[in-house]
């Protein structure tokens, strides 16, 4: 046979696992490498070994990439959402309903925390060493909320300077997410009020948002690799030996978190006509990333994507609800954790709490997350709770050893709630895309969309390949994927 007539068979490419499977594999690989790093142990003068350094670098780099895209996403998304809301008559109603459901879920969560604290009594006969007690360096304050919403500059930038052991000074810059939201709201309202002259600005903002969303998807595709580094570093840095004397407290916290995530949230979704199974499959990409990254703000871009693309919440609403929820909606950090922790501290120091004290714990847990929005963190929220109730702040030092382990579960619950509330509000207001909510998730873990700039060519090809099996299905069994409502 001549070379001209010879058939050239195309090389068969080995299909890669779906995005969801890649993330799960990353979880197991991270655990495995973390334990390997533990077995190798530190080198030299207690320095982490090469594997631990590699895992830490991979994980921190991934979170840094996510956090880098948060500021432009917040500003562009909020401005675009307000511009779109100019044609929506129930904009104020959506905002108030969002705040109401934030409070409802927080109230349920803190009730579970108080009940577990009184029932399990984790602070009684604790084996923790009281000599480790130390007053925390940072405190929550009710004035912090007012101070944090006033932008210090147009970019919401803050600078912190630290003195090193050698006397050198290091300055780091960070964005205040709540201030960015305030700035974006002001710009969005101003653009709407200006009217026709502001149309080029609005169009530029919307087109730039599409570019940022495309860059965001590229970062999200790195999640399996980031998961390996984040979880592996967590295993090496903290291990499970740190639970030790606080095992009962740690178990109580995780029971509370599990009750909220696997009982309360499914009941609320079902009560509002939403499938709990579809909710969990839709929120999974953000849930797993929140668990390993321990950062609601770092996970916020993924949370917003699953809220819009998987749960069917319109972009003009989710662009407001998700960033706002990422700073104030924390059922794990601001409800379950401070409630159980405050009762633990009271039991450890043999302090009897009255009904008024328990009501104060509930009040701070429901309202207090806003007061710590400018200085987010469960430890700051706990100091606010203890100081309000009048418990010793030294009790915070008891819990620092297991805080990283607790933070993984707390953040996962935070993220799950930040996606659920917009879905519930959108469903009750009749603006939720139920076709998209109930649609089959693609190999990437997301429902494909037909809007330009939000679906990569590789993902589209993978999705098309997986849909071949449905081509010959009866008409009534086919699933049509719709787009989010733009009303």
Q: Write the pLDDT tens digit of every residue in 22-46.
A: 777 887 898 899 889 888 888 877 7
**Which of the pair, 226 or 479, is modelled with greater confidence?**
226
pLDDT by residue (tens digit) across 49-96? 889 899 989 988 887 887 788 788 778 877 887 777 666 667 778 888
pLDDT in tens, 420-456: 999 999 999 999 999 989 888 776 677 775 533 333 3
- The band of 374, judged by pLDDT with boundaries at 50, 70 and 90, is very low
The contacts of residue 131 (CB under 8 Å, 6+ apart) are none
CA 309 to chain centre: 16
SS3 percent helix, strand, coil of the chain, rounded to 5, is 70, 5, 25
Among 150-154, 246-250, 435-439, the range scoring the smallest mean pLDDT is 150-154
List, in sequence order, the alpha helices (H) in 90-222: 91-120, 142-149, 177-194, 199-220
- Phi, psi for 163 (deg, rounded to 5): -95, 125
**249 Cβ contact list (under 8 Å, min separation 6):** 122, 123, 126, 340, 341, 344, 399, 402
Asked if 88 and 487 count as a contact pair (C-beta separation under 8 A), the reply is yes
Q: Which of these, 27, 38, 53, lies nearest to 227 by C-alpha position?
A: 27
């Amino acid at each position: 046979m001549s070379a001209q007539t010879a058939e050239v068979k195309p090389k068969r490419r080995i299909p890669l696992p779906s995005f969801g499977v890649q993330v799960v594999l990353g979880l197991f690989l991270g655990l495995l490498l973390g334990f390997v790093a533990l077995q190798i142990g530190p080198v030299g003068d207690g320095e982490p070994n090469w594997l631990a350094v590699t895992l830490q670098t991979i994980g921190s780099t991934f979170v840094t990439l996510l956090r880098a895209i948060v500021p432009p996403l917040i500003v562009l998304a909020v401005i675009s959402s307000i511009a779109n809301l100019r044609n929506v008559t129930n904009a104020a109603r959506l905002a108030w309903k969002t705040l109401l459901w934030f409070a409802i879920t927080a109230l349920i969560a803190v009730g579970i925390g108080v009940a577990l604290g009184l029932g399990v009594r984790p602070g009684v006969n604790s084996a923790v060493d009281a000599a480790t007690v130390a007053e925390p360096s940072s405190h929550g304050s009710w004035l912090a909320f007012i101070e944090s919403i006033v932008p210090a500059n147009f970019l919401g930038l803050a600078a912190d300077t630290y003195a090193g052991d050698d006397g050198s000074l290091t300055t780091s810059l960070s964005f205040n997410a709540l201030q960015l939201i305030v700035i974006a709201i002001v710009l969005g309202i101003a653009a709407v009020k200006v009217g026709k002259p502001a149309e080029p600005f609005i169009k530029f903002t919307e087109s730039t948002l599409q570019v940022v969303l495309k860059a965001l998807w590229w970062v999200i595709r790195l999640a399996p690799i980031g998961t390996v580094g984040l979880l592996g570093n967590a295993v090496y840095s903290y291990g499970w030996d740190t639970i030790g004397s606080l095992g009962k407290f740690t178990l109580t916290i995780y029971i509370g978190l599990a009750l909220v995530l696997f009982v309360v949230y499914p009941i609320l979704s079902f009560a509002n006509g939403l499938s709990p199974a579809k909710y969990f499959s839709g929120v999974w990409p953000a849930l797993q990333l929140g668990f390993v990254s321990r950062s609601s703000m770092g996970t916020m871009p993924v949370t917003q994507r699953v809220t819009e693309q998987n749960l069917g919440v319109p972009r003009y609403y989710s662009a407001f609800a998700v960033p706002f929820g990422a700073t104030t909606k924390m059922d794990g950090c601001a409800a379950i954790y401070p409630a159980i922790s405050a009762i633990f501290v009271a039991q450890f120091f043999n302090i009897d709490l009255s009904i008024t004290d328990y009501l104060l714990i509930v009040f701070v847990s429901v309202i207090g997350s806003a007061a710590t929005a400018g200085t987010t963190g469960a430890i700051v929220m706990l100091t606010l709770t203890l100081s309000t109730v009048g418990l010793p702040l030294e009790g915070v030092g008891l819990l620092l050893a297991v805080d990283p382990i607790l933070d993984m579960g707390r953040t996962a619950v935070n993220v799950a709630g930040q996606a659920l509330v917009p879905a519930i509000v959108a469903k009750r207001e009749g603006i939720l895309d139920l076709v998209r909510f109930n649609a089959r998730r693609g190999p990437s873990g997301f429902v494909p969309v037909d809007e330009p700039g939000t679906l990569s060519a590789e993902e589209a090809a993978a999705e098309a390949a997986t849909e071949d099996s449905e081509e010959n299905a009866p008409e009534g069994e086919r699933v049509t994927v719709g787009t989010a409502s733009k009303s």
